[in-house]
Structure 1
Amino acid sequence: MPTGATLPLQASSLLPPTELAARLRAGGGLVWLDTAVPDAASLSILAAQPVEILEGNIFRDAALLRRVLQQHQQPHVPDLGAPSGGLIGWVGFDGQFIFGVYPQCHVYQHGSGSWLDAVTARTAASSATAPQRMTGTSLELEPLMDKATFCGLVERAQQYISAGDIYQVNLSYPWEGVWPADLDPLAFYLRLRDVSPAPFAGYLDLAGMQVCSASPECFLKMSGSHIVTRPIKGTRPRGVNRDADHRLANELVHSPKERAELVMITDLERNDIGRVCEYGSVQVTQLLHLEKHAQVHHLVSTVEGTLRPEVDQVEAFLACFPGGSISGAPKKRALEIIHELEPHERGLYTGAIGCFGFNGESQFSIAIRTAWRRDGHMHFHTGAGIVADSDPVHEWEETRHKAAGLLAAAQGA
């Protein structure tokens, strides 16, 4: 194995990710890129004690990220499918980033129930206080925008659509609440993981901020030169029983509005990826696929391509950021309208959470269904995609459905 390539090593079935997270967090800087709906191919990534914290703006400081990635570069192992170490953290909607530099990661294979790396005996045997499950503590959260105001924003966005400025735009608003002093952020994440399991979940504790994510959406996955994005559009709540659930799913699948919206955003993502991929390599390999999550149904597409040899993964990220599903089309004008209409900064919301891998294995989720704790308060946002025939009241109700998982977690058990 070449120097610096820490994976693959002997698999070790010592601890489930929840227990290893409790042990690793004592060292500070715990990051856990998780999947709470595992399948045979899914992985969870844990690391702690970063050797450095990087802060900046990706539109201005991309060279910093490239320099650190080059300093720690490791050979790409095509069949590995996971970072052996990397820059793990997040990029906010406005480009502000916080990344920890982690020379090594612990990678858990859910299919085999084992770790790809040899989790050290000292780590496995170390004592750690497990986070107390939420049993009585609750968070009181309130939206910072009322129904009438949001519906007014929808109508203003539709005026831009009627004028031909845009075809679609995502509008959002924030929720806030005081974080109880006795509430462990990791315990809150475990509660969120229980009530709203998601394929691209995560817990990150960096630079005085704790992030708890139950994201259903993959922004980018890069393995060497291969790149994938999976935009989501279209939402219906889950039904109260099997018949109602089937009816709502069928309604979503056959909705002309929702189908047109996802096709529009899929085309946008195809164009974004096409800017950095080899000619003819970009393909839509899945279109209008129904996915069922804990609180909602979604429609999703998959777009794949092959990066040109001169394109690094930071450049590929920049070509696609922010994601089209949470901005709009055309993207540039939609972003201008978002900044004009939304009275609150999005912060982390609709940015990206994940890892630039030192070995060329990188992955990022879209930061939706995501809360963060900072300065004694909890913050999260919810939003909806607006098109010409959107019903403002329906879009308001959709934002409430999307908030359901975080609100349920905030109420404890």
Structure 2
Amino acid sequence: MNIEQLFSDRRQAFWNVSIRYIRLMANSGLMAAVLALILIIGLYYQNFLDWLPQDFPVLLVLTILFAYMLTRSPIRTFFQSGDLVYLLPLEAKLDRYTRQAQVYSWTIQSAVFVFVLFLFGPLYIDRLSPEFSHLLMTIAVFLVAKAWNIQAQWAELRSQYVANQWKLKWLRFLINLVFALFVLMVEPLFVLVLLLLMGFLLAFYYRPKMKNHQLKWDQLIELEEQTLNSFYRFANAFTDVPHLKSRVRKRSMLANQWERLHNKSSNTYVYLYGKTFARSGDYFGIFVRLAIVGALLVYATPGEWQWLAVAISVLFTYITGSQLVTIYYHHRTIVWPDLYPVHQHVREQSVQSFVRTLMAAQVFWLTLITGITSMSVAYAMMALFIGLLLVIFYAQVQVPKLFRSTAS
């Protein structure tokens, strides 16, 4: 085992798998829908700025957002469960490995940070500072703070008790909150003082902690698995990810609704997929998030662009179907559903019914929001009519294509 090259090898292995999924996502119809959504948002960004009230607390909102982004600094270690056996005895020789992990994490998170800052750039220039140079300086200072948070996070993970880790994280959030506030207010003297304070804490508190405490291997492996699972859940919205580990939640009130089904063979998969939707950590959350985000975008549509509310309503209905249809693969690695004495055709009809019902629910919800926003029955009926046509087309044409491609 080459310790010097181990991190690079694991990083390359991860990206080899990721690039394959990214290509599949790029070729999917859902990716085109997401790109269309981004285009729609870009079209009325300026309208959104004009619509936003002058007394809206932009400084407070951006301060909390950037403080959260600074504080949340997960570190990709690419540790695996077998490392408890093979790497644990070599912990003293992993300094280069852990440095590479921190640099890699800083690079990826900095790219995301820069993207978000440029996304809010017009809002920053419009409401906080008209100087573009201030925005560039803000980016540079935040990236320095991000590096500090990465190292602080790595030291905090050495704490033996999770409660202590959370206390340190909340303390770091408060520091980031004050820091982000002064940065956005363009107060260079206070920013410099806080940077010196961060350097002091790093040198005299965090660095000793890294030297005096061992790695918590179980927690680091668990965090790495959670990060991988987050990526696979995202990819699963576009294509099948067989090795996705799903989280299960109780949600008794929702899950118990399927207990009312009649006990007959035609309801076997209706019951199975209904319970899966209710208790899975993915599908119910996806449906709710799409309903909320779609409603917010429809509500924020400018008055003279009411046709855009209809387009957003239809687009989010399509995205809902595209993401929820992946429930068909959910039990693919489990043998029991294949042993049910029920014909495959019943299973496919259950998935069609499931997708059709939830897409229709999304149509009615977004139609209601469209009607409230536009105060026009005509636009609301247009959103309802086009949305229901899409539901019928998707359930009767697109979903069977999925079954045929899986069978082949």
TM superposition score normalised by structure 1: 0.22
Q: Counting helix residues as a fraction of each chain, which structure ranks higher?
A: 2
Is the strand fraction higher in 1 or 2? 1
Pick 1 or 2: higher relative contact order, CA cutoff 8 A, min separation 6: 1
Scaled by the length of structure 2, the TM-score of the pair is: 0.23
Q: Mark the structure with the bigger radius of gyration.
A: 2
